[in-house]
Structure 1
């Protein structure tokens, strides 16, 4: 099967999309739930924090499990679990039960980025990793983009409970396809020998005996990625969990208007994921920089573009605000993809999921902190100062990345592939 690695990453992208469809369903349904279940903005921030706390704690554990069990079985187990946890949201009767189910979802969904990055490390040569990561990372925005029209349709034609059953049920279908289709390049019978050799020859990272948290956490390269991710991820959490509520409470959009417009920032985020993936090899060609430096340039470009959403407070109408959210979605996903890919650039195959999980924990520590701040102060000082902070965080993250992570850093025993 020609170009099989791209079919594989397409399957991963669909899995990521369904993962983010599940996590984004609540924010779309929230205007309805807040009325029917009497959930306040402060209580909603606790529900969001339950998901984020569970996700934060579980990411390195999920990454370690994936490194131990292997990508195929590990990813399938987690996907089954998050699909079930999402469907259980339909049984919520108040903010406490909703927070409990949300915590279960966070525990199970924490596997998705480490799993995707592990697939990239297995199936792609170094020079294509940012492109592959960009494509599977586009699934994060696809899921968030599908959520508004699908969830609103379910609410209008049935109930908010049915919205969670439908979005959760789609995951079971994906797991069946995944178990049937996925193998490593070494074992996949449909992989052409020439493509297998192309993948192997283009990979500089090597296996180690097993993943070691101590080895990862004690390395400078880990902190060079983890700190920028801590500073960058509050933006994505804000877009995922707060855009529908912001459009409803501040811009006074109706549920139907939210369904029409709230998905647009995630379409822009899709483009950011894909374009950001291609920017890295283009920067290597145009500026003759190293692989790591090309990733840094992508992060810097995204950080500058984040000043778009910082200006949302100046928007005179809801449609301009949505447009600036689109700029932010594009910018964040471009820089986020580069930061995620860096783990596969500087860590070996058998520790990449663990390293990705640990940097993801740092990212979500930033997310949960900022979500709690939004819940506490949004009704008093408004959202606008918070949007400005998101841009400043990303600029600071870019500075840390250039300062801490060496531009010549590579995985053990090899140099990065520098090819235009």
Structure 2
């Protein structure tokens, strides 16, 4: 009755807390974004003292991972008289071919374009700076180029038509060329959108026409991509007057295209609401528009659209307008050091800069300006709630430890009786903890795109973020297991959850790559102390025919967590990725209260102590019970033995070494999928992050969920007739799934012009989930049947060390190989081969000792 009343009170409290979270999440999501404008002196002037307009510029990645700036082309009036305001006073316009590079604070000549050009569409893509169209003295161009890090130029497929004064944006390796004009005196501007995926080999690349944007065509608009939406802001429409001259109409609207659909009706909104315009005509602003922290920055622009007499030359705009994608609102956040238009905007780390540009019609400047735009920490309601709850929970844990002690109290449960109520309560409450653990792990990969956008890093560096978590998690897992064999497993689980919650919250406040790396390393510490303690505690309760099913039920929470994390990108599109992490940190620390109330150590669980055997042996001894023949063995408790003795006992037999190899081979496939599978689907099937995340995690998680329960039931039933059953079930599934994973990726490995249907790809790769789920359900029972059970948590920690250590290497080298041009399909196929070896080892595992 007491337990029922407690559950009722907690459920009501959790409902109220969830409602409060939903109310406070939206207004707090993006409150900490700011633009800190610097003087132009922080970036050296362009080498051309006359300055240029219509240049192309962007960042490229050096071999050491640092970023340099490439700037090329452009146009000016070298013969213009001082104060020139008419075409006659300016003289002829000159176009340039120079390619300059800014590295280590200095500009240098890096190469030469094939032809002079200006006013082209451009954006940084994975391999360099992509350039499309533009014009020069000879006319409008359709050529497309890729300027590489060393200044060399590679030809890309030409545009379907000549285009100049188009806007441009990039989404990963995809280049979008939007609007523009295709002749000197057009009747109207273009409303076309062309997309080029620069990922494949050059001979396989081709431009794809997307649905045209609605309304009139436009030139000199500014474009940006945020998450799965392509935004087009302002610009000028064109029309012919009665005299045959082309005139401009300055625009003040913004339209968006949901790139997850090719339905033209998706134009005009972001999929949620009608988009707000900047409130004033804006044309030729710095582009592509920088995107930081779910905000789009519009810098400068041609002010003639705001003038009573658009034909009168005026200085260009200095305004910095910021669009909040989540809130659908515009704000003005200060002024740029100089009024500027027809200028490239370059994002390098947390720095945004403009390169040269036009300060007034016909007037150029060589000066470059910069700003620091990004996140800065400010306490919100969610942050205060995390802080207060953490203090309360820690105080309760400390008081409980002082009153009840911290040592692991031995408990012996008769395997021939059914486990009691608290044995199953432990499984239920720990299910939610492990679900949160794996939600956080997979959430990082699901939010790859916005995290890399706001905290710039290479793919190899992003892989290192995952790897540092896995390395620390791996190295400390044996330590966590060793401590869980000596001290209260309940206490260790509680402390792990509190640390997990704080670190998850902290991840949402990471300001730069270093702080993100430290946060993920700290997450490795928290999780290393959870799994060994939790599985040891559950299998302390469940010693007989329910051991696999209890373990399987607990481990099923892993796959629910990964499946839910696949929708993290969808949630982040509404609240921001930072608020997503912060909210789940709050949920975690609030859930610690439930653990305090309902998680018991086996020896202190009131409903289960009656089932414990109470042999007449000294209290400081441990009684081990043989599950098969009900024999008792009185041994020293693990807290009395040295580290060397524990390791010597664990590693003295062949089965432990075989299990270490098993988890290494299985971990290679599992951790690669957790880290890189969403990215593989984005690259191969042109999915957005909001689509790829659920597709990558949902299928595999469902398969794992089915296997972790079905495999556990099958193993426990088969175990009654065959003592090797708990190893045979995962062994059979791995020998089948490994070859199927390789089969799904054969066309990509050998370069065959065959596209495996997405559904078939997801289905074949999901067989890895069946194998991994059955292994997760039976690994701890198999381990405990081959080793001295006093060291079960330590033994599982050693297995985690091996599995996560291999996973860390796979996560890092998956990104490193990708940076080197090795397809992710090849790396995943190699992991599939290792899965086959894993299955064979499980099939050859000796008969259990007990």
Q: What band does the TM-score fall into relative to the shorter chain?
A: 0.7 to 0.9
CA distance in 2, matches of 1:383, 1:340: 32
Structure 1 residues 78, 260: CA separation in 2 closer, same or farther (over 3 Å shift)? closer
Question: 1:232 is paired with a residue of what secondary structure?
Answer: helix
How many pairs align?
402
Of 261-270 and 200-209, the range deviating more from structure 2: 200-209
Q: Which residue of 680, 690, 708 corresponds with 1:246? A: 680
CA distance in 2, matches of 1:260, 1:299: 26
Q: Which residue of 726, 729, 733 corresponds with 1:302? A: 733
Structure 2 equivalent of residue 334 of structure 1: 774
Question: 1:346 is paired with a residue of what secondary structure?
Answer: coil
Give the helix-richer structure, 1 or 2.
1
Kept in 2, the 8 Å contact 1:66–1:74? The answer is: yes
Per the TM alignment, residue 54 of structure 1 is displaced from its structure 2 partner at its CA by: 0.6
CA distance in 2, matches of 1:201, 1:16: 29
Kept in 1, the 8 Å contact 2:785–2:848? The answer is: no
Structure 1 equivalent of residue 703 of structure 2: 268
CA distance in 2, matches of 1:402, 1:258: 35
Deviations 1:390-410 (A, max 9, x none): 23212222333444x421423
Q: Which residue of 660, 672, 679 corresponds with 1:226? A: 660
Structure 1 equivalent of residue 584 of structure 2: 167
Answering whether residue 556 of structure 2 is matched by residue 122 of structure 1, we say no
Kept in 2, the 8 Å contact 1:296–1:398? The answer is: no
Deviations 1:334-386 (A, max 9, x none): 12332333222233443111111011111112212222221222352312222
Give me the CA root mean square deviation. Answer: 2.5
Question: 1:327 is paired with a residue of what secondary structure?
Answer: helix
Deviations 1:113-162 (A, max 9, x none): 2122212221102322111111111111111111122x224421221111
Provide structure 1 residue ranges, at least 5 long, that are not aligned to the other structure: 411-420
Deviations 1:68-90 (A, max 9, x none): 22111011111111221121111
CA distance in 1, matches of 2:423, 2:589: 23
Question: 1:93 is paired with a residue of what secondary structure?
Answer: coil
Structure 1 residues 19, 187: CA separation in 2 closer, same or farther (over 3 Å shift)? same
Per the TM alignment, residue 104 of structure 1 is displaced from its structure 2 partner at its CA by: 0.7
CA distance in 2, matches of 1:307, 1:95: 38
Question: 2:833 is paired with a residue of what secondary structure?
Answer: helix
Answering whether residue 793 of structure 2 is matched by residue 360 of structure 1, we say no
Q: Which residue of 466, 489, 492 corresponds with 1:71? A: 489
Provide structure 2 residue ranges, at least 5 long, that are not aligned to the other structure: 4-419, 614-624, 748-754
Structure with greater contact order relative to length (CA < 8 Å, sep ≥ 6): 1
Kept in 2, the 8 Å contact 1:302–1:331? The answer is: yes
Of 354-363 and 210-219, the range deviating more from structure 2: 210-219
CA distance in 2, matches of 1:367, 1:263: 17
CA distance in 1, matches of 2:521, 2:500: 11
Q: Which residue of 782, 805, 809 corresponds with 1:369? A: 809
Answering whether residue 827 of structure 2 is matched by residue 386 of structure 1, we say yes
Question: 2:447 is paired with a residue of what secondary structure?
Answer: helix
Question: 1:391 is paired with a residue of what secondary structure?
Answer: helix
Structure 1 residues 406, 208: CA separation in 2 closer, same or farther (over 3 Å shift)? farther
Structure 2 equivalent of residue 209 of structure 1: 637
TM-score (norm 1): 0.88
Of 316-325 and 40-49, the range deviating more from structure 2: 316-325
Q: Report which of the two structures shows the higher radius of gyration computed on alpha carbons.
A: 2
CA distance in 1, matches of 2:591, 2:789: 25
Structure 2 equivalent of residue 416 of structure 1: none
Answering whether residue 666 of structure 2 is matched by residue 235 of structure 1, we say no
Structure 1 residues 201, 407: CA separation in 2 closer, same or farther (over 3 Å shift)? closer
Deviations 1:272-304 (A, max 9, x none): 21112112123335xx321xx112211222212
Q: Which residue of 540, 557, 561 corresponds with 1:139? A: 557
TM-score (norm 2): 0.45
Structure 1 equivalent of residue 598 of structure 2: 181
Kept in 1, the 8 Å contact 2:738–2:834? The answer is: no
Answering whether residue 712 of structure 2 is matched by residue 281 of structure 1, we say no
